[in-house]
Amino acid sequence: MAEVDLLRSLPKAKRNIEKRADAKDPAVIAIAKQYGEMYWDGPREYGYGGYRYDGRWRAVARDIIDHYQLRPGMRVLDVGCGKGFLVKDLMLECPGLEVFGLDVSLYALTHAHEELSGRLHLGTAEKLPFPDKAFDCVLSLNTIHNFPRARAVKAMAEIERVSKGASFVVVDSYLTAEQKEIFESWVLTAEFHDYPEGWLAVFAEAGYTGDWNWTIIE
* pLDDT, mean of residues 1-27: 75
- Domains, in order of start, for the chain: 17-215 (3.40.50.150)
Say if residue 124's pLDDT is above 80.
yes
Mean pLDDT of the chain: 93
**For residue 101, what are the contacts with CB-CB under 8 A and spacing of at least 6?**
77, 78, 79, 81, 82, 84, 86, 87, 116, 119, 120, 121
Residue that wins the pLDDT comparison between 30 and 21: 30
Tell me what pLDDT residue 186 has.
80
**Whether pTM exceeds 0.85:** yes
Residue that wins the pLDDT comparison between 22 and 111: 111
Please provide residue 166's backbone torsions phi and psi, each rounded to the nearest 5 degrees: -90, 130
Q: Mind listing the pLDDT tens digit for each residue in 33-47? A: 999 999 999 998 899
Task: Provide, rounded to the nearest whole percent, the portion of the chain with pLDDT above 90.
Answer: 85
* pLDDT, mean of residues 189-213: 97
Outline where the chain has alpha helix (H): 17-23, 26-32, 37-41, 57-68, 85-93, 106-110, 149-162, 177-186, 196-206
**Residue 45: helix, strand or coil by DSSP?**
helix
Radius of gyration of the chain (CA): 17
